[in-house]
Structure 1
Amino acid sequence: MSIDIYWRIGMEGDHASLRTPRRYNRGDAAGYGPGNIAPAVRAGELDGYSYIDHVAAVARATESAGFLGGLLPSFPVTEDPWAFAAALARETTTYRFMVAFQPGFLHPVQAARMSASLQRATGGRLVYNIISGGGGPAQLWWGDKVSHDDRYARTSEFLDVLRGVWDGDPCTHDGRFFRTEGAALPPGLAGQPFPEVYFSGSSGAAVQAAGRHADYYLSWLEPFADLRAKFDGVRAHAEKIGRTPKFAVRIDILARHTEEAAWDEIRKGWAFVDRDAANRAAQGDSVGAGRIKGWVPETITGYRDLEVQPNVWCGFSLIRGGPAFGLVGSYEQVAQRLDELIDLGVDAFILAGNPHLEEAYRVGEEVLPLLGRSRLTTPAPVLTNAL
């Protein structure tokens, strides 16, 4: 059994470390103060080393460290992942780019043309991370007031139309959200490999849509028993329509040579806990975010209160934005937890750590080999010329 392992690439800047989580010093998320890099201020002027140069370093590092590809997230505060994927393709060889996007903000015919162009240019290295949005202020930033379940209905229709035009046959569609008349890709783009689809969402509407379209059902990390139950529900729904899903989990990693050293990193970052900020970030109608909040106790006496099972810690969102759950421990312990998830049914991982560059090397060099290289998917050779 081979396992696909991706690394999250910080598209919004990056922290210096979890020890200093409010110190964004990569990119311009916090301006260009002293100690900033990518770019840095030297002799009163920016040095010309842009943030995309730093992101390219992360992509090259993770490719050399054994990761199959990288997730390029999309939020109101990030760079555009489509543009970055096209630019970064020149910086890598076999590295896959998992582009996160909300289907509601692209027409499926245009998305098909963009995707097929990127597939042809990179030799088939595009992967989709389909997100339907979590509601709340972030969704309104896009001007999107579509209700929760309707967003998943829109996503499902979007993917139906996109697949309908993909191979070049004229596609006419008159649906609730999209319309086309004789839409087709030109011969040079038709027939490119269709991107693998990673589909996330914890609600009933999300599971129904994922059952139809997902190659990989993607979840944030949760307590393992809850994750197993979620997978069982997705599996049962997919089987009713004759499909067999695969599963992926997005996990933050904090691994060190010893368990004590890993928890010491958490202890130092704990001084920066901002529960109000975490609650503000969780506003919206996301069922997955609601599930996460249910595991975080209202009364917390210390950071170890949030260890819900060995090495599984649900306090990351109190230190920095993003998912609450991650793995904390020695290299051996983290690898063991990943192996347990594989045995539970996980087929792919999207791992992350702050800062993304240094932690990519650490996880690639110290954790992935403990899984056994035979368990990692070997990148296929690129069959066409890259950009």
Structure 2
Amino acid sequence: MSLRFAWKLCASGTRRGLDWQAQSAEWVQLAQAVEYAGFDDLYLPGGPGQPDSLMVAAALCAHTRRLGLTLSLPAEAMLPAALAATLQSLQSLSAGRVRLHLPDSDRGSLRRAFGEVLNRDQRHERIDEFLDILQRLLQTPATPLDHNGRYFHLENAGLGLRDLPPSPLLLDETLGAERIANRADLCFVQGGDVAQLGETIARLNRGAQAAGRALGYIANFGIIARDSEEQAWDEAARQAQAFAAPTRGKRRRADAGVVEMLAERAEHPARRSEIHPNLWLPAPAESPVLVGSYSQVASRLRELHGAGLDQIILNAPNAVREVLRFGEQVLPLLRPEAEKDTRIGR
């Protein structure tokens, strides 16, 4: 299976000062650039500070032909029966191009933003019940569902649903190996050191195999790819200025020997935050960034694929420019030209 690529639509990537009524045109422009460049999917984050991923997906269905749309929606934001109906509508509009990511609400402030007051154990009980209802409603053949549980009560739910292929489900690795093995189609893992990533995927695979299932794995990375390695690290240094003040002295844990070795050989100051060759950690709360020449970035992507990743979600400032740069300079190193031109997004 070849490595798939997605681009992340970030609200922060919208041009400053742009009137909110014009933002939808920015999203359409980015989606069309992502499709033109040969990406497989566009990832639509959800939650506080982000546009409604369901509505953005609906709008972009009409402006793309083959691009997959992976939308992220906290389970607290919508009832499972309503979400099932909305997903079916989106699947019809998009000809089956929509996937659903239910993020872990224990991370960050998602639960507080949506009024969730349950404790951790209750939230896990609720997400299990939520997933059970959602997946039963979306299974074929479509049948009405009566449900009387602790958190949800339904009568004749699912009336009007059709026999459509269900949207693939993405769950975060932090939701637990057993839940992922039994419920998820794909697992969203934390990007980082390649060896640690491989260990995480191997552990999750063991749980999935015990449940008689197979999982795909996705991770998020920033990207700075340039003509030369020096140009890429110069750009990383410029971006580091935005993180330096609030994060000085704090760094996500990486193998101490690797960090020391990289720091000793670093000729560029930004490389002191390099946690793996061509993987830069700008700040503890940020995703790692692929930094290097086009061939170096392509080599690192192959290494990540070898560690078990099936899809990588990329992001960068000046999104349209970087999307086209990646499509023109990096994708041809990873993918035969014929495959790039005929690939169908899911």
TM-score by length of 2: 0.87
For 2:131 and 2:173, how far apart are their aligned partners in 1? 16
Equivalent residue letter for 2:6: Y
The answer on 1:311 being equivalent to 2:278 is: yes
For 1:380 and 1:260, how far apart are their aligned partners in 2? 35
The answer on 1:4 being equivalent to 2:1 is: no
The answer on 1:13 being equivalent to 2:12 is: yes
Q: Which residue matches 2:156?
A: 182
Alpha-carbon spacing, 1:146–1:295, altered in 2? closer, same or farther (3 Å): farther
The answer on 1:267 being equivalent to 2:242 is: no
Residues 166-245 of structure 1 mapped to structure 2, 5 A cutoff: 166=138, 167=140, 168-186=142-160, 189-202=161-174, 205-245=175-215
Return the match for 2:293 from 330, 348, 352.
Answer: 330
Q: Which residue matches 2:310?
A: 347
Given that residues 76 and 111 in structure 2 are in contact (C-alpha distance below 8 angstroms), is that contact kept between their aligned partners in structure 1? no
Return the match for 1:117 from 89, 98, 111.
Answer: 89
Q: Which residue matches 1:294?
A: 253
Specify every segment of 5 or more residues in structure 2 that has no aligned partner in the other structure, as ranges: none
- Cα deviation for residue 208 of structure 1 reads 2.1
Alpha-carbon spacing, 1:209–1:174, altered in 2? closer, same or farther (3 Å): same
Task: For residue 273 of structure 1, give the secondary structure of its aligned residue in structure 2.
Answer: helix
Alpha-carbon spacing, 1:56–1:238, altered in 2? closer, same or farther (3 Å): same
Alpha-carbon spacing, 1:148–1:231, altered in 2? closer, same or farther (3 Å): farther
Alpha-carbon spacing, 1:60–1:178, altered in 2? closer, same or farther (3 Å): same
Task: For residue 26 of structure 1, give the secondary structure of its aligned residue in structure 2.
Answer: coil
Task: For residue 226 of structure 1, give the secondary structure of its aligned residue in structure 2.
Answer: helix
Percent of aligned pairs with the same residue?
Answer: 28
Given that residues 113 and 185 in structure 1 are in contact (C-alpha distance below 8 angstroms), is that contact kept between their aligned partners in structure 2? no
For 1:75 and 1:278, how far apart are their aligned partners in 2? 28
Larger deviation, residues 270-279 vs 108-117: 270-279
The answer on 1:102 being equivalent to 2:74 is: yes
For 1:221 and 1:375, how far apart are their aligned partners in 2? 26
Task: For residue 290 of structure 2, give the secondary structure of its aligned residue in structure 1.
Answer: strand
Equivalent residue letter for 1:170: P
Specify every segment of 5 or more residues in structure 1 that has no aligned partner in the other structure, as ranges: 15-24, 33-37, 40-47, 283-291, 383-387
For 1:327 and 1:221, how far apart are their aligned partners in 2? 11
Segments ≥4 residues shifted beyond 6 Å: 374-377
TM-score by length of 1: 0.79
For 1:216 and 1:179, how far apart are their aligned partners in 2? 28
For 1:185 and 1:26, how far apart are their aligned partners in 2? 43
For 1:264 and 1:381, how far apart are their aligned partners in 2? 34
Task: For residue 79 of structure 1, give the secondary structure of its aligned residue in structure 2.
Answer: coil
Equivalent residue letter for 1:113: A
Alpha-carbon spacing, 1:365–1:140, altered in 2? closer, same or farther (3 Å): same
Equivalent residue letter for 1:87: A
- Cα deviation for residue 378 of structure 1 reads 5.0
Count of aligned pairs: 335
Q: Which residue matches 1:357?
A: 320
Alpha-carbon spacing, 1:365–1:347, altered in 2? closer, same or farther (3 Å): same
Equivalent residue letter for 2:198: R
- Cα deviation for residue 135 of structure 1 reads 4.1
Instruction: Encode CA deviations 1:33-74: one digit per residue, 9 max, x unaligned.
Output: xxxxx44xxxxxxxx970110111000000000011200011
Q: Which residue matches 2:116?
A: 144
For 2:103 and 2:80, how far apart are their aligned partners in 1? 14
Instruction: Encode CA deviations 1:175-206: one digit per residue, 9 max, x unaligned.
Output: 232222221241xx41112111222133xx43
Q: Which residue matches 2:58?
A: 86
For 2:185 and 2:340, how far apart are their aligned partners in 1? 18
- Cα deviation for residue 117 of structure 1 reads 0.8
For 2:136 and 2:27, how far apart are their aligned partners in 1? 34
Instruction: Encode CA deviations 1:208-231: one digit per residue, 9 max, x unaligned.
Output: 221112111111311011101111
For 2:230 and 2:208, how far apart are their aligned partners in 1? 42
Given that residues 220 and 325 in structure 1 are in contact (C-alpha distance below 8 angstroms), is that contact kept between their aligned partners in structure 2? no
Q: Which residue matches 1:253?
A: 223
Equivalent residue letter for 2:301: L
For 1:242 and 1:278, how far apart are their aligned partners in 2? 45
Task: For residue 181 of structure 1, give the secondary structure of its aligned residue in structure 2.
Answer: strand
- Cα deviation for residue 355 of structure 1 reads 1.7
CA RMSD of aligned residues (A): 2.9
Instruction: Encode CA deviations 1:291-328: one digit per residue, 9 max, x unaligned.
Output: x833499x99943221111101111x47xxx6331211
